[in-house]
C-alpha cells in the first residue's frame, strides 16, 4: 500500500490493493477482536515502516543515535499509528455483515484518521488522502477535504471486494462515485486575482550535518544573502532555517542590508531563520519566517504546530533529549491567529500569503481554519521546508503530495521553498507548474497568478465529513449491533 502511493497513478492502485486486505480478513471463519485487531496492526506496521523508514536517516545519520535504537524508534512510531488502522477496521466485528458494512468501515476510518491528526499533537502523515491527488477521488478535496478522499477510498475498496457477492449494486456504486467525482472536478470556487507576480525560490542544498558547524553556517548565510540580492522579484523566498543562527546572532547588519535591498528593488523577502521570543525562563527560540517588504516594518510568523522531539519536548521526555544531546529541541510555538504575509506591489492590490513551515503542511484542517478566520483574504500558500534531515528518500515526494492536496483543498496556488527539494510552484489545482531538481543548488524563477475566494472546505473544515461519519456510525450501532 505505502509503496503503491509512490507510483504513477498510485491513488488508483491503492484502492484494489486495499480490497485485498478485506479479502484476507474474510478468510477468517470468525471475525472477532482477537483476529481482526492483530491483522490490523500487522497491516499498519508494514504500511508505516515502508512509508516512514526515512525517519531512520534523521535519527541515525544526522542525530547520531545508534542504529538499533533508531530502528526501534521507527518501529514504535509505526506501531503507534497502526493502532488507528486497527481500531478503524474493528467496525467489521462490531457491525453484523450487511450491505452497508463498507460505508460504516469508511466512517470509522475517517474518525480514526481525524483522531490520529490530533492526539499527542497529531501525526497524520501517510494517510490515504494525499495519495488520492493521483487518484480518482481528489475532486472531493475542495468540498469536504482530504478525509472525504479517505472515506471514498475505503468504501470503494470494500465495494470492489463485494463484487463477487453483489455484482450489479457494487459496480453501480463504484462507477457512480467515480463519475460523480469527475463531474465535481469541473466546479471551481476560486478565481484569479490581480496580475501575476514574479517569484524567486532559492534552493541551497546544504547538508543537515553542517547545521551546527560555524564555518559552514557562515557560508550558507553568505550564499543566501548573495542569491537574494542578485535579482529583484515581487517575492523572493529562502527555505526554513536557511539562516541557522538565532536572529540576534546573525552577522551584524545582515537584515538591514536585506531590508535596504527590499526598499530599493521593490522586492518582498521571506527568510527562514531562528527567532527569539521572551519567556518566563528567559529567551526561547522559535522556528520563524521573517518577512521584509519595501518601506514596511518586518513581518514575522513563528511556527505553531511543532514536531515532537525535534522542536518541542513532550512532558516526561526531557531525559531522552538530554541523553542524546539534541540541540535546539524545545522551540516556542506561535499562535494560530498569526496574520498572513502582505506582498506589496506597486500600482497593484496587495496579495496575502498564508505561511506554513515544513510539518505544518500536513494539517489541512488547521490551514483551512487559519484561512477562514484570517482578517485578510488569503490569495497564496507558502511552505518553507528543510528536508535535508531525511537524505535521499521519498520524504520530499510525500510532502509534495501533501502540499498539492492543500492547494486542492483551498483552491489556492502554493510556493514551496526547500533546502534540498522539492522546490516547486503549484497551481490552484495542485498541479506542479515549475520545479527544481532535488539535491541541486539553484533558483526557481516563475510567474504566479494569485487567486481569491474560498472553497467549501475552507469555510466548513472537517465538520461536514466528520458529522456524516459520526451519524453513520450511530445509525450502524442502532441498526447492526450485536446483542
Tell the burial category of 342 from Cβ atoms under 10 Å away from its Cβ (0-12, 13-18, 19+). Answer: middle
Domain ranges of the chain: 2-188+461-480, 193-454
Q: Is 480 helix (H, G, I), strand (E, B) or coil?
A: helix
Distance CA 133, CA 142 (A): 12
Of 113, 130, 227, 240, the active-site residue reads: 240
Q: Phi/psi at 405 (nearest 5 deg)? A: -65, -40
CATH class held by domain 193-454: alpha beta
Cell of 166: 453483489
Determine the average pLDDT of the residues in 388-411.
Answer: 92
| Per-residue model confidence as pLDDT tens digits over 248-282 | 888 999 999 999 999 999 999 999 999 988 776 66
* Closest alpha carbon to 49 in 96, 101, 95, 3: 3
**For residue 213, pLDDT beyond 60:** yes
Of 227, 303, 311, 360, the active-site residue reads: 303
| Per-residue model confidence as pLDDT tens digits over 7-21 | 667 788 899 989 888
Residue 470 a catalytic site member:
no
Distance CA 213, CA 218 (A): 9
Instruction: For residue 78, give Cα distances in angstroms to 90, 113, 126, 364.
Output: 19, 14, 11, 22
**For residue 29, pLDDT beyond 50:** no
Neighbours of 39 (CB within 10 A): 18
Residue 149 a catalytic site member:
no
**For residue 483, pLDDT beyond 50:** no
Q: Dihedral sign for Cα 257, 263, 265, 270, please.
A: positive
**For residue 481, pLDDT beyond 70:** no
Give the residues across from 273 on adjacent strands.
243, 288
Looking up cell 518541542 gives 312
Neighbours of 454 (CB within 10 A): 19
Tell me what pLDDT residue 321 has: 53
* Closest alpha carbon to 387 in 10, 37, 55, 25: 55
Residue 358 a catalytic site member:
yes
pLDDT band for 212, please (50, 70, 90 cuts): low
Of 159, 173, 358, 366, the active-site residue reads: 358
- What's the DSSP call for residue 60? I
Amino acid at each position: 500500500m505505502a509503496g503503491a502511493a509512490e507510483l504513477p497513478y498510485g491513488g488508483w492502485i491503492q484502492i484494489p490493493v486495499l480490497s485485498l486486505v478485506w479479502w484476507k480478513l474474510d478468510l477468517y471463519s470468525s471475525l472477532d477482536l482477537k483476529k481482526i485487531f492483530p491483522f490490523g496492526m500487522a497491516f499498519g506496521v508494514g504500511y508505516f515502516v515502508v512509508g516512514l523508514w526515512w525517519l531512520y536517516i534523521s535519527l541515525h545519520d544526522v542525530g547520531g543515535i545508534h542504529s538499533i535504537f533508531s530502528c526501534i524508534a521507527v518501529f514504535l512510531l509505526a506501531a503507534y499509528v497502526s493502532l488507528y488502522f486497527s481500531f478503524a477496521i474493528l467496525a467489521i466485528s462490531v457491525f453484523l455483515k450487511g450491505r452497508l458494512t463498507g460505508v460504516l468501515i469508511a466512517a470509522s476510518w475517517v474518525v480514526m484518521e481525524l483522531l490520529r491528526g490530533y492526539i499527542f499533537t497529531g501525526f497524520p502523515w501517510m494517510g490515504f488522502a494525499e495519495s488520492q491527488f493521483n487518484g480518482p477521488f481528489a475532486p472531493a478535496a475542495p468540498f469536504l477535504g482530504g478525509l472525504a478522499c479517505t472515506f471514498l477510498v475505503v468504501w470503494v475498496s470494500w465495494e470492489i471486494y463485494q463484487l463477487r457477492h453483489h455484482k450489479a449494486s457494487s459496480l453501480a456504486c463504484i462507477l457512480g462515485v467515480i463519475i460523480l467525482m469527475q463531474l465535481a472536478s469541473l466546479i471551481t470556487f476560486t478565481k484569479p486575482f490581480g496580475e501575476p507576480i514574479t517569484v524567486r525560490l532559492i534552493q541551497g542544498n546544504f547538508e543537515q550535518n553542517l547545521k551546527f558547524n560555524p564555518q559552514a553556517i557562515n557560508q550558507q548565510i553568505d550564499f543566501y544573502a548573495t542569491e537574494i540580492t542578485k535579482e529583484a522579484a515581487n517575492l523572493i523566498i529562502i527555505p526554513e532555517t536557511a539562516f541557522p543562527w538565532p536572529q540576534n546572532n546573525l552577522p551584524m547588519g545582515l537584515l538591514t542590508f536585506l531590508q535596504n535591498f527590499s526598499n530599493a528593488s521593490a522586492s518582498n523577502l521571506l527568510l527562514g531563520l531562528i527567532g527569539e521570543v521572551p519567556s518566563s525562563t528567559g529567551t526561547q527560540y522559535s522556528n520563524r519566517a521573517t518577512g521584509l517588504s519595501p518601506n514596511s516594518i518586518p513581518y514575522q510568523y513563528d511556527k505553531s504546530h511543532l514536531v515532537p522531539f525535534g522542536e518541542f519536548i513532550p512532558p516526561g521526555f526531557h531525559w531522552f533529549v538530554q541523553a542524546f544531546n539534541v540541540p535546539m529541541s524545545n522551540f516556542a510555538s506561535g499562535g494560530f491567529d498569526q496574520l498572513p504575509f502582505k506582498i506589496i506591489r506597486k500600482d497593484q492590490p496587495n496579495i496575502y500569503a498564508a505561511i506554513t513551515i515544513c510539518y505544518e503542511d500536513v494539517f489541512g484542517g488547521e490551514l483551512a481554519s487559519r484561512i477562514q478566520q484570517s482578517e485578510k483574504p488569503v490569495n497564496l500558500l507558502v511552505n518553507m521546508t528543510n528536508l535535508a534531515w531525511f537524505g535521499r528518500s521519498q520524504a520530499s515526494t510525500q510532502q509534495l503530495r501533501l502540499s498539492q492536496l492543500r492547494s486542492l483543498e483551498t483552491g489556492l496556488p502554493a510556493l514551496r521553498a526547500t533546502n534540498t527539494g522539492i522546490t516547486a510552484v503549484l497551481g490552484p489545482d495542485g498541479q506542479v507548474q515549475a520545479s527544481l531538481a532535488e539535491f541541486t543548488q539553484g533558483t526557481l524563477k516563475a510567474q504566479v497568478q494569485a487567486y481569491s475566494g474560498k472553497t467549501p472546505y475552507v469555510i466548513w473544515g472537517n465538520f461536514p465529513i466528520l458529522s456524516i461519519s459520526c451519524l453513520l456510525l450511530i445509525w450502524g450501532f442502532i441498526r447492526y449491533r450485536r446483542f
